[in-house]
Amino acid sequence: MEREQAREQTERVNGELSSVWAQNRSLSASPDLGQETAWVSASQRGDALAFNRLVLKWERTVYNVALRMLQDRDEAAEAAQEVFLSAFKNIRRFRQDSKFSTWLYRIAVNHCVSRVRRRPQGIHFSLDSDNQGAPPSELSITEAQDGELLRAENRNRVRAALAFLPPDQRAVIELKFFQELTFEDIAAILQVPLSTIKSRLYSGLDSLKVRLGAEA
């Protein structure tokens, strides 16, 4: 009888914990802007739980950015941890006159670009589809006809070809195609003029076309 009661109690506790975890994941996955702003404000006051909710919301996005930028799963996981550690240390410096996502993307991209630049020249990585996160089903862009070419290409080949682009171009293509951000958002994240963003994008697209054509 005691064993049965203990087992039922254990199952009940596990069920409650699972329910709380599911609620937290659901809440963190799609909070409204007001909720996220509240988490940021609480984090700036030293609330570690609030910052953890921000991590839960953004961890997959940051990891996927790092994965495509760095083309290595272990390095991407390490980079993602370092990005959130940097965000936690500097959260009080974040001025809420811009979106939290803009600030976090900036930390993530700058960190990944720095890692790529520290690599010996000629070192490239490539990944197959099983190693990627959950990118859009197709690359899409309305501002350039080159998007039609990329939509027709195998996504794995496109991702592999990204490894051969300069990190600045890779960052713009990542933010535009995979994160589906506007040119204005990307300019705010990278803190460069809009014209520079477009130049990097189209130069990167031209390079991708050449490499994809050579591999065809």
pLDDT of residue 163: 85
pLDDT of residue 129: 38
pTM value is 0.71
**Mean pLDDT across 80-105:** 94
pLDDT of residue 172: 95
DSSP secondary structure, 180-199, as one string: ---HHHHHHHHTS-HHHHHH
- Average pLDDT of the chain is 77
- Which of 190, 163, 164, 160 has the alpha carbon at shortest distance from 175? 190
Tell which wins on pLDDT, 22 or 113.
113
pLDDT of residue 161: 83
Percent share of the chain, pLDDT over 90? 51
Model confidence at 53, pLDDT cuts 50, 70, 90, reads: very high
Structural domains in the chain?
2-27+38-215 (1.10.1740.10)
pLDDT digits (tens, 9 = 90+) for 109-167: 999 999 998 877 655 444 433 344 433 333 333 444 455 445 544 566 777 788 889 99
Model confidence at 92, pLDDT cuts 50, 70, 90, reads: very high
pLDDT of residue 210: 86
Torsion angle defined by CA atoms of residues 161, 167, 170 and 175, in that order, rounded to the nearest 10 degrees: 150
